[in-house]
Chain A
Amino acid sequence: MNAQFPIATTLKYNFPSPKETLQLHQLPKHFIELSLQSLKQTKHQQILPTKKTTTQFSTHQRPQPPIPTTELLTLTPNPTTTNIVAIDVSSVKLGETKTGILLGVRGAVVWKNPDHYRYLRLGPFPFHITRHIENRIRRLYHQNHAASYLQENSIPQAYFIQSRLTTLLERWIQSSIAHTTHNSIILWDGSLTAGTTETSVSTMQELLATARSNRNIILAFSKMTRLSLQGFRLTDLIKHTPPCLLRIKEYTDCIGPLRLMGNVYVAKFTKGSFAFRMDADKQLPSVRVVDAVQNLLGNDLILQSYPETLRLAHIFSTFTAIEVLGLQRCIIQKSNLKVVTKLNMHRLLFGRFGKGPEG
């Protein structure tokens, strides 16, 4: 480990290590090491900041084919005390170097206990993604089949690597939570789709199985803009007064390499035009899902069809413009970059908002 970083090296756990009881406070050694490794190479390189520094994404959306039939499930909020945990991870592109890209990743967990919310933020972690690091990340996935088309010395493709890194942290936090939490509703951002370059079918199966064995239920929420049924937007299909769920039956399980590990629902919890796609573990009976959702409605604040706990996790993980600047500054200092001024702090700080003294 680089001596510049005073980070405790007593981390017990390697990544990913779902068999052990993970403690969130102790980040996987590999993840931090990966970050440190990546930054080492940044030294003496010039950073070209991205024009749009706020390209953030935290969900994993993919186009879906049309769906055949639906089933409406009406809901009654159930106030029986239930613990809720939400997880979200965000990443942001910070800039580019000659050999790679700079990223920042952060995860957030929010717990909803009967009377209050509590959060844990992990990160932000800066990364300098080069071909070398990219390979290490791929090795971490134990996957060699996907995305091997990259040329030896080409710059890794921003979108894929950013999404991979985000998922890497996200799956790890999800795994930790699934292990350490019992009898809770676990909210994820995204879907239960596996078989992607980021998430193998076995990883997802393991996550779901762990959760089930601890009597947790995972509900994954995602914005659905592209889901449609016979030309109608799903949102418009729900005519029933909320709260209700629309179960999409016989949803195609496999699309190419993709596997849907969950049943897909349209969730409309409040009046208004908002509705979300909700995925729930396929292994669980539908009544169990309905029960959990009713508990969610009775325990969490729901605004615009979205659970507050998950919204908070999202807010705590996303980066503000200042955090982007702070991360850039952190990288510049820690990686001991020579050409500091090339990263135009002024522009970033004031941009088009800068104003004259009289203005």
Chain B
Amino acid sequence: MRLYKKEGATVQIISFPNEKVRKGDYLAIEDSKREESLIVQVIDMEYANIPGILEELLRNCNGDSSIEASIEGEDVDPFEVAAHVRYIQDARLLICKIRASTHKGKLIPTGFALPARSYARIRNISVSELLPCPSDKNGYPMRLGEIAEKKHLDVDVRALDGALNIITGKKGTGKSHIAKLLTLSLISHGAPVVILDLNGEYVRLGQNTKGEPNEFYSKIHVLTPKQNFKITLEQMRIRVLLNILVNVLHLPGTSAREFRRIWHFLEQKDALTIEELGEAIKNWRCNQHVRDALFSRYYTLLNSGLFTDNPAQATSLEDSLDRVRSGGAIVLNLQNESTTNRHILVEYVLGKLVELLTTWRLRAIFLFAEEAHLYLRETYWDDIVTRMRHFGVFTTFITNQPDTIRENIYRQVDNLFVLNFTNEHDLDPISRAARVDACTVKSIVRDLLPHHCLVLGKVVNDFPIIVKIRNLNVQMMGQTRLFFLNKDLQVNSIKR
């Protein structure tokens, strides 16, 4: 490899066919005289733009359209020049981004010295030279997967602590898989997790691939609304309920004020039940429009099936959270729920979390939200990343539509897990994240293989790394539902 040129933070290196370099690899450009080196990452590869290459290719092409191509012949090449020609012909230009520099073997983040082109030595460096590898003694290791043959990427799970993370990639690339990996790593180090499970994909996290209980079995608590998750009106806080009525069910302001009065009335009577609420609205002295407005929302709540007046049937979220306090996950199964119900449930759960966090019943919670735009109000976004983060809600957003996440969230993101995207425009919002340069993301992501993820941010010390995410021994459930079955299977079943 030879250093060719540098433009801003981009370095171009010529690599010859016998040198094995892949996109995402790290190289050190070493200037031994000054004991300095530049750490760069290969983000793209091009053919070296050699003058005359077209001529060369045309001359040697095997197409049938040109006369030259149809000619057979022989070369007497005693000096074996042809090998040298091929060597040059196959030279590649590596487009690299400067990531760091070193002085006397120590990483220094700034002050990129320009290595001497004539004698700088370029070598591949392994990720372990860049990232400290955490062990159980000095940290909280989490194995993300493979980075090279038989080399694993272990990172410290503390990089997720207090952090805002985004997992994105097109459908079926393994986003939920990464979320599960992070969840299980957090759990095994004793952290509490809440998962807003849109498609019911996390409900079997406690089972292995054969459907038997795995090591996490006792730590996964699935809450399925109407089945094992019902709430009483009393468990609700008026603030949370008003939020739902106004923001989700669009109750007008005057009616909301009237509702507050009704609530206090019932509270004093110690009769905060769904049934009493209906009675109270019926008999409340107020404008007919207000009553109608209140009634329509009341029926929505009633029909949601989420509420119960029987305290024995109700679930205590506090109790559930107590159970995961020292490691475990609550999976809120939102599958089969209407949009309204999802909103109600999520507002309720988040309201509860904030309540428990402000009263220090919980230290912190890791929240995983799949396609959050489907059940979180727009205005909740800022709340989650700023206010709730201060309380200790550390969110990971998972989406296949990066543009559903607002720009200011990208700006605050600490860790980004990007899987393959074919459409470059999908990447535009991601490129705005403060931790990435647009070139790196666009160029690497479009060529990511299945299960390969570009990891950016704190978790990798801001050295973007491509990792093949490891497999998990859990029931996946994420598989796309299909009509046509695997042919072999069908044949087998017919034979039987």
Which residues, 4 to 18 on A, are CB-close (under 8 Å) to B? 5, 7
Q: How far is the CA of A326 from the CA of B14 in the complex (A)?
A: 15
Q: How far is the CA of A116 from the CA of B68 in the complex (A)?
A: 11
B76 located at the interface, meaning its Cβ lies under 8 Å from any Cβ of chain A in the complex: yes
B62 located at the interface, meaning its Cβ lies under 8 Å from any Cβ of chain A in the complex: no
Q: How far is the CA of A333 from the CA of B71 in the complex (A)?
A: 32
B48 with A350: CB separation less than 8 A: yes
Q: How far is the CA of A125 from the CA of B118 in the complex (A)?
A: 29
A350 with B50: CB separation less than 8 A: yes
A326 with B88: CB separation less than 8 A: yes
B79 with A330: CB separation less than 8 A: yes
Q: How far is the CA of A65 from the CA of B12 in the complex (A)?
A: 56
Q: Of A327, A346, A358, which is within 8 A of B4 by CB?
A: A346
- Which B residues touch A119, using CB under 8 A? 71-74
B75 with A121: CB separation less than 8 A: yes
Which residues, 96 to 124 on A, are CB-close (under 8 Å) to B? 110, 116-124
Q: Of A110, A120, A327, which is within 8 A of B76 by CB?
A: A120
B88 with A325: CB separation less than 8 A: yes
B44 located at the interface, meaning its Cβ lies under 8 Å from any Cβ of chain A in the complex: yes
Interface size range of chain B in the complex: 35 or more
B87 located at the interface, meaning its Cβ lies under 8 Å from any Cβ of chain A in the complex: yes
B74 with A322: CB separation less than 8 A: no
B50 with A121: CB separation less than 8 A: no
B88 with A7: CB separation less than 8 A: no
A354 with B49: CB separation less than 8 A: yes
- Which A residues touch B77, using CB under 8 A? 121, 123-124
Q: Of B10, B74, B119, which is within 8 A of A120 by CB?
A: B74
Q: In whole Å, how far is A27's beta carbon from the nearest beta carbon of chain B?
A: 6
Binary flags per residue of B133-177, CB closer than 8 Å to A gives 1, else 0:
000000000000000000000000000000000000000000000
Binds A, one of B51-59, B223-231, B262-270: B51-59
| Given known contacts A329-B87, A330-B84, A357-B44, A125 and B72 CB-to-CB distance under 8 angstroms | no
Q: Of B56, B73, B78, which is within 8 A of A322 by CB?
A: B56
B70 with A116: CB separation less than 8 A: yes
B88 with A329: CB separation less than 8 A: yes
A150 located at the interface, meaning its Cβ lies under 8 Å from any Cβ of chain B in the complex: no
Q: How far is the CA of A329 from the CA of B87 in the complex (A)?
A: 9
A231 located at the interface, meaning its Cβ lies under 8 Å from any Cβ of chain B in the complex: no
A25 located at the interface, meaning its Cβ lies under 8 Å from any Cβ of chain B in the complex: yes
A140 located at the interface, meaning its Cβ lies under 8 Å from any Cβ of chain B in the complex: no
B358 located at the interface, meaning its Cβ lies under 8 Å from any Cβ of chain A in the complex: no
Q: Of A27, A110, A322, which is within 8 A of B88 by CB?
A: A322
Q: In whole Å, how far is A105's beta carbon from the nearest beta carbon of chain B?
A: 11
Q: How far is the CA of A323 from the CA of B71 in the complex (A)?
A: 20
- Which B residues touch A120, using CB under 8 A? 73-76
A321 with B78: CB separation less than 8 A: no
Binary flags per residue of B23-58, CB closer than 8 Å to A gives 1, else 0:
000000000000000000001101011111101100
Binary flags per residue of A330-359, CB closer than 8 Å to B gives 1, else 0:
100110000001000110011101111110
Which residues, 58 to 97 on B, are CB-close (under 8 Å) to A? 59, 67-68, 70-82, 84-89, 91, 93, 95
A349 with B88: CB separation less than 8 A: yes
Which residues, 370 to 405 on B, are CB-close (under 8 Å) to A? none
Q: How far is the CA of A25 from the CA of B55 in the complex (A)?
A: 27
- Report how many residues on chain A are interfacial, defined by Cβ distance under 8 Å: 48
A118 with B52: CB separation less than 8 A: no
A320 located at the interface, meaning its Cβ lies under 8 Å from any Cβ of chain B in the complex: yes
Q: Which residue on B lies nearest to A329, using beta carbons?
A: B84
Binary flags per residue of B439-478, CB closer than 8 Å to A gives 1, else 0:
1000000000000000000000000000000000000000
Q: How far is the CA of A254 from the CA of B496 in the complex (A)?
A: 100
A321 with B51: CB separation less than 8 A: yes
- Which A residues touch B4, using CB under 8 A? 346, 350, 354
A349 with B48: CB separation less than 8 A: yes
Q: In whole Å, how far is A173's beta carbon from the nearest beta carbon of chain B?
A: 11
A193 located at the interface, meaning its Cβ lies under 8 Å from any Cβ of chain B in the complex: no
Q: How far is the CA of A281 from the CA of B13 in the complex (A)?
A: 56
Which residues, 204 to 224 on A, are CB-close (under 8 Å) to B? none
Q: Which residue on B lies nearest to A356, using beta carbons?
A: B7
Which residues, 296 to 346 on A, are CB-close (under 8 Å) to B? 301, 308, 312, 315-316, 320-327, 329-330, 333-334, 341, 345-346
Q: In whole Å, how far is B374's beta carbon from the nearest beta carbon of chain A?
A: 37
A35 located at the interface, meaning its Cβ lies under 8 Å from any Cβ of chain B in the complex: yes
B5 located at the interface, meaning its Cβ lies under 8 Å from any Cβ of chain A in the complex: yes
B439 with A118: CB separation less than 8 A: no
- Which B residues touch A110, using CB under 8 A? 71, 73
| Given known contacts A320-B59, A351-B51, A355-B49, A346 and B76 CB-to-CB distance under 8 angstroms | no
Which residues, 2 to 17 on B, are CB-close (under 8 Å) to A? 2, 4-5, 7, 10, 12, 14
B439 with A126: CB separation less than 8 A: no
- Which A residues touch B82, using CB under 8 A? 326
Q: Which residue on A lies nearest to B8, using beta carbons?
A: A356
Q: Which residue on A lies nearest to B54, using beta carbons?
A: A320
B80 with A325: CB separation less than 8 A: no
Q: How far is the CA of A221 from the CA of B163 in the complex (A)?
A: 79
Q: In whole Å, how far is A24's beta carbon from the nearest beta carbon of chain B?
A: 8
A326 with B49: CB separation less than 8 A: no
- Which A residues touch B48, using CB under 8 A? 349-350
Q: How far is the CA of A308 from the CA of B67 in the complex (A)?
A: 9
| Given known contacts A117-B71, A118-B73, A334 and B78 CB-to-CB distance under 8 angstroms | no
Q: Which residue on A lies nearest to B443, using beta carbons?
A: A357
- Which A residues touch B86, using CB under 8 A? 326
A321 with B52: CB separation less than 8 A: yes
A32 located at the interface, meaning its Cβ lies under 8 Å from any Cβ of chain B in the complex: yes
- Which A residues touch B52, using CB under 8 A? 320-322, 324
A312 with B439: CB separation less than 8 A: no
- Which A residues touch B89, using CB under 8 A? 322
Binary flags per residue of B248-285, CB closer than 8 Å to A gives 1, else 0:
00000000000000000000000000000000000000
Q: How far is the CA of A338 from the CA of B7 in the complex (A)?
A: 30
| Given known contacts A121-B75, A350-B4, A321 and B50 CB-to-CB distance under 8 angstroms | yes
- Which B residues touch A121, using CB under 8 A? 73-77
Q: How far is the CA of A100 from the CA of B50 in the complex (A)?
A: 27
Q: How far is the CA of A353 from the CA of B46 in the complex (A)?
A: 13
Which residues, 111 to 164 on A, are CB-close (under 8 Å) to B? 116-126
Query: Which A positions have Cβ atoms within 8 angstroms of B?
Result: 5, 7, 24-25, 27, 32, 35, 110, 116-126, 301, 308, 312, 315-316, 320-327, 329-330, 333-334, 341, 345-346, 349-351, 353-358
12 A-B contacts (beta carbon < 8 Å) = A116-B70, A116-B72, A120-B74, A121-B75, A121-B76, A315-B59, A322-B53, A322-B56, A322-B89, A325-B88, A349-B88, A357-B44
Q: A35-B79, A124-B79 are in contact. List 9 more A-B contacts (CB 8 A).
A: A25-B74, A119-B74, A323-B56, A326-B82, A326-B87, A327-B81, A330-B80, A349-B88, A357-B439
